Structure 1
């Protein structure tokens, strides 16, 4: 796989998405940041502002999202737009990498969990670095299995918590080293 043929998709927020973007820039991976009008980004390199029509293509019932993630999402325009934006990230990126916390019900904590649920739904290769357990896990056969993933596809998503630990940063950095070399 040629690094120049790879594209990272993310949402440009502080924490995991910023570190994924910094690594993409360092290794020469193309980077696309999906956003919407009025959304504040921490990293805006190659930002694509989704139109109202684009956002509607990623629309989902908040009731369905709440059910899939085993939590309650109230109808707010900002939450809806964030979930719509995540749809575009996962729809474009084949392999999905997330940094966060895997919960007992196999979902992932916070809004990041929506990327995880969409990756499961779209049958994408899915990897989560669980900061609490300090290890990568891959979704296989309906369960999380410890793994040491590599970026293996030309398009991939990097997402995750805004509250990135030093271990989370190191996990993202190591993912890029192991995938593209030093």
Structure 2
């Protein structure tokens, strides 16, 4: 991989996304942060503010999102914009990396789960670092399989929990080191 030809897509929020961005910067990887007007970011380099027209392109039914993630999402403007922003991230990046918690039903906890479900729908290479188990998993043959992934495409997504722990932080650092060298 040629690092200066690679681009990380995220939404620059505190926790996993902020750490993905810091790792990209450290390794000389380009970064694009998708956001919307009024969204509070922890990382604000190379921000692309999505306008109303762009956000609508990522529009989904809250009922569909609730059904796919096995939880209830209520119709609020902010949560809709967050899900629309996640659509743009996954639509832009070919490979998807997420730090979070894989639940018993195979979904990933929280809003991060939407990035995972979109990656499955878009047939993107998908990898989740499960913080409680301190292990990377790759979605293959409709199930989670233990893995030690590398960044293998020029465009990729870094998303995940706001509640990043030391194991999650180390997993992101090691992912970049494996992919681009120290």
Distance 2:100 2:2 in 1: 28
Distance 1:105 1:123 in 2: 19
Q: CA deviation at 1:34?
A: 0.1
Task: Give runs of ≥4 in structure 1 deviating > 2 Å.
Answer: none
| Structure 2 Cα separation of the partners of residues 92 and 12 of structure 1 | 15
Per-residue displacement from partner, 1:113-138 (whole Å, max 9, x unpaired)? 00000000000000000000000000
Q: Which runs of 5+ in 1 are unaligned?
A: none
> Which residues of structure 2 form unaligned runs of 5+?
none
Tell me how far 1:18 sits from its aligned partner.
Answer: 0.4
Q: Compute the TM-score of the two structures, normalised by the length of structure 2.
A: 1.00
Q: Cα distance, 1:173 vs. partner? A: 0.2
What is the Cα deviation at residue 154 of structure 1? 0.1
Which structure 2 residues correspond to residues 8-157 of structure 1 after superposition, within 5 A? 8-157=8-157
Equivalents in 2 of 1:39, 1:168: separation in Å?
Answer: 24
2:157 and 2:32 mapped to 1: Cα distance?
A: 10
Q: Using the TM superposition, give the Cα deviation of residue 158 of structure 1 relative to its aligned residue in structure 2, in angstroms.
A: 0.2
Per-residue CA deviations over 1:148-176 (Å, capped at 9, x if unaligned) read 00000000000000000100000000000
TM-score (norm 1): 1.00
**Count of aligned pairs:** 182
Q: CA deviation at 1:180?
A: 0.2
Partner Cα distance (1:41, 1:107) in 2: 26
The DSSP-based 3-state class of the residue aligned with 1:65 is helix
The Cα shift of 1:90 comes to 0.1
| Corresponding residue number in structure 2 for 1:160 | 160
Give me the whole-angstrom Cα distance separating, in 1, the residues matched to 2:3 and 2:40: 29
Cα distance between partner residues in 2 of 1:164 and 1:27: 20
Q: Deviations over 1:44-76 (max 9, x none)?
A: 110000010000000000000000101000000
Paired with 2:80 and 2:20, the residues of 1 have a C-alpha distance of 24
